[in-house]
C-alpha cells in the first residue's frame, strides 16, 4: 500500500469495525457496504472496506477489476507473507478497500485445516487498523469460517435486509450465530440493528414486518444479549434504480447520482450511525485468543 496522504499517526486508537452480514444473498448487503463506506468517507472518516464475499461485487462499485496475478483478500488468509498493507487500494478520498476474487470460495475448506482459524483476519489486519476510523466488512452470504473471522474482529453487526416475513425468520438464525461467536471468541461483539434495503414504505406487508422487527428488538432491551440495544435503523433505504445502476459504471451512488433518494438515504444512515457512536464508549480493542500470535 502506498503511504496514505494525511494518514493519522499510528497510535492505540481503534477504528469502529462493522460487519455487514446476511446469510441470504440479494438483499443489498454489498450495495450498503460500498455506499455507507463512501458516506463515512465524505463525512471525513478514514474508511476501509474489506470484500469477504467470493462474488467480489464490492470492487465493482469502485471501478476495480483485479488483474490475474494481483493479490486479493484470499492471499491475506492463505499467505502469511502477505500483509494487509500490500492489498489496500485507494478508491476515493478517505476511502480504501481490499478486493476479493472468486477463488475466495475455496478458502473455507483450507482454513478449516489451520489452527486458530477464527482469528486469521484479526491477526492480518491488526498492523493496519489504526490508520482508519471505520472498517466495514462485507461478509459472504453464509455463516461459515469467513463470516466467523469477520465477527471475531468486529465491534458490531449491521444486518442489511428487506422487509419480508422470511427475513425475520432468517434474522433469528443469524443472531444465534452472533451469540455463539460473542460467547466463544469476541465478548465485545454487539448487534447495531437491521438496515432496510429496497424498501417500499407504502407496502402493507412491509409495514407489518417492520413493526414486528421493532417489537422483536424491543423485547430484548436489558437482556444482556448482543442485540439488547439493536433496532431497525432509520431511515430505510428506498427502492431506487440508481443504486442498481451505479456499480455498472464503477461508481458509488455519490459519484453516480448524488442527489437521488438512494444517496440521501445512505448519507442519513451514516449520520445516524455516527450519532449512536457519540453516545457510546470508544471501541474496545478485540483481544486475540490466548495462544494466538500477536503481530
> Over the chain, what is the mean pLDDT?
87
Cβ(163)–Cβ(205) below 8 Å? yes
**Pick from 169, 158, 167, 210: nearest CA to 21:** 158
CA-CA distance, 167 to 294, in Å (whole number)? 38
CA-CA distance, 28 to 238, in Å (whole number)? 11
**What does the pLDDT read at residue 286?**
54
The answer to the question of residue 287 being in a domain is no
The answer to the question of residue 6 being in a domain is no
CA-CA distance, 37 to 134, in Å (whole number)? 8
The answer to the question of residue 134 being in a domain is yes
pLDDT digit string, tens, across residues 224-269:
999 999 999 999 999 999 999 999 999 999 999 999 999 999 999 9
**What does the pLDDT read at residue 105?**
84
Residue with the bigger pLDDT between 89 and 280: it is 89
- Please enumerate, as own/partner, the contacts of 213-218 that have beta carbons within 8 Å and a separation of 24 or more: 213/163, 213/168, 213/171, 216/168, 216/171, 217/193
Q: What is the CATH number of the domain that holds 80?
A: 3.40.50.300
The answer to the question of residue 177 being in a domain is yes
Q: What angle do CA 31, 35, 38 make, to 5 degrees?
A: 150
The number of distinct structural domains making up the chain is 1
| 3-class secondary structure, 235 | coil
The answer to the question of residue 217 being in a domain is yes
Give residue 195's domain range. 16-278
Residue 13 C-alpha cell reads as 486508537
C-alpha count within 13 angstroms, C-beta hemisphere, residue 241? 0
For residue 204, the tally of other CB atoms under 10 A from its CB is: 8
The answer to the question of residue 94 being in a domain is yes
Edge-first strand order for the sheet with 231-233 is: 89-92, 95-98, 47-51, 134-138, 16-20, 156-161, 190-196, 231-233
pTM value is 0.90
**What does the pLDDT read at residue 12?**
52
The answer to the question of residue 188 being in a domain is yes
The answer to the question of residue 145 being in a domain is yes
DSSP annotation of 163: S
Residue with the bigger pLDDT between 132 and 103: it is 132
Amino acid at each position: 500500500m502506498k503511504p496514505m496522504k494525511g494518514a493519522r499517526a499510528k497510535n492505540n486508537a481503534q477504528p469502529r469495525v462493522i460487519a455487514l452480514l446476511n446469510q441470504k444473498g440479494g438483499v443489498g448487503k454489498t450495495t450498503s457496504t460500498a455506499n455507507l463506506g463512501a458516506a463515512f468517507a465524505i463525512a471525513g472518516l478514514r474508511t476501509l472496506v474489506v470484500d469477504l464475499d467470493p462474488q467480489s461485487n464490492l470492487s465493482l462499485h469502485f471501478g476495480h477489476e483485479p488483474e490475474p496475478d494481483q493479490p486479493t483478500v484470499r492471499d491475506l488468509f492463505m499467505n502469511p507473507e502477505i500483509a494487509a498493507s500490500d492489498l489496500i487500494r485507494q478508491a476515493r478520498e478517505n476511502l480504501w478497500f481490499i478486493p476479493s476474487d472468486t477463488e475466495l470460495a475455496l478458502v473455507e475448506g483450507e482454513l478449516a485445516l489451520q489452527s486458530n482459524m477464527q482469528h486469521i483476519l484479526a491477526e492480518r489486519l491488526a498492523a493496519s487498523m489504526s490508520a482508519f476510523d471505520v472498517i466495514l466488512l462485507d461478509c459472504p452470504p453464509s455463516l461459515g469460517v469467513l463470516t466467523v473471522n469477520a465477527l471475531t474482529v468486529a465491534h458490531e453487526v449491521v444486518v442489511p435486509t428487506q422487509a419480508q416475513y422470511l427475513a425475520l425468520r432468517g434474522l433469528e438464525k443469524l443472531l444465534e450465530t452472533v451469540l455463539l461467536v460473542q460467547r466463544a471468541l469476541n465478548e465485545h461483539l454487539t448487534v447495531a440493528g437491521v438496515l432496510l434495503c429496497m424498501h417500499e414504505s407504502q407496502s402493507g406487508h412491509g409495514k407489518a414486518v417492520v413493526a414486528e422487527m421493532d417489537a422483536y428488538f424491543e423485547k430484548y432491551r436489558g437482556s444482556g444479549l448482543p442485540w439488547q440495544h439493536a433496532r431497525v435503523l432509520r431511515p430505510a433505504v428506498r427502492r431506487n434504480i440508481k443504486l442498481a445502476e451505479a456499480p455498472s459504471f464503477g461508481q458509488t451512488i455519490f459519484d453516480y447520482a448524488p442527489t437521488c433518494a438512494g444517496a440521501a438515504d445512505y448519507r442519513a444512515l451514516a449520520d445516524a450511525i455516527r450519532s449512536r457512536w457519540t453516545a457510546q464508549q470508544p471501541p474496545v480493542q478485540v483481544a486475540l485468543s490466548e495462544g494466538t500470535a500477536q503481530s
